[in-house]
Amino acid sequence: MRRAACTVPAPGSHIVRTRACHALRVLARRTLLASALVAPWVAWAAVRLLGLDVGHPFVAAVTFTPYVAVTAWLPVVAALGLRRRGVALVGVAAASILAAAVLPRALGESRMPARRILRTAGLGHTLRVRWHYRA
């Protein structure tokens, strides 16, 4: 039977935990805490990136993406404070995806095209829509 890496047998048949074992447990707790902090933003970025916002509650929830993108840097700072660089990099990737989802709309064109054609699926109908904007 293999023994855990952070335990050593001591005289008298009991197992004594070493300082290295305690350090590994603290690091594991930090990693778990940092990952739990970053996970909601990573999930939101995955929903936006993969287009999983289908159905009633998700379509309405996705409208909060600009607020999520603004707060996406908070778990990155927390992960850096916990000294978990890998988790912080995952958070930076999620924040970048969320920023890429929001910035085109925030910095978009001042005008939309004057005419768009919308086609309905399977019915063969064409709907021509004209938008008028005042400058």
Give per-residue pLDDT as tens, 24-65. Answer: 788 889 899 999 999 999 999 999 998 888 888 888 888 899
- Residue 72: C-alpha distances to residues 19, 41, 47 (Å): 35, 6, 14
pTM value is 0.65
Q: Where are the domains of the chain?
A: 30-130
The Cα 65–Cα 51 span in angstroms is: 13
Quote the pLDDT of residue 13: 43
Buried-state track 59-79, b at ≥16 Cβ within 10 A, e below 16 = eeebeebeebbeebeebbebb
Host H or E run for residue 106: helix 85-106
**Chain-wide mean pLDDT for the chain?**
77
Q: Which residues contact 25 (CB under 8 A, 6 or more apart)?
A: 6
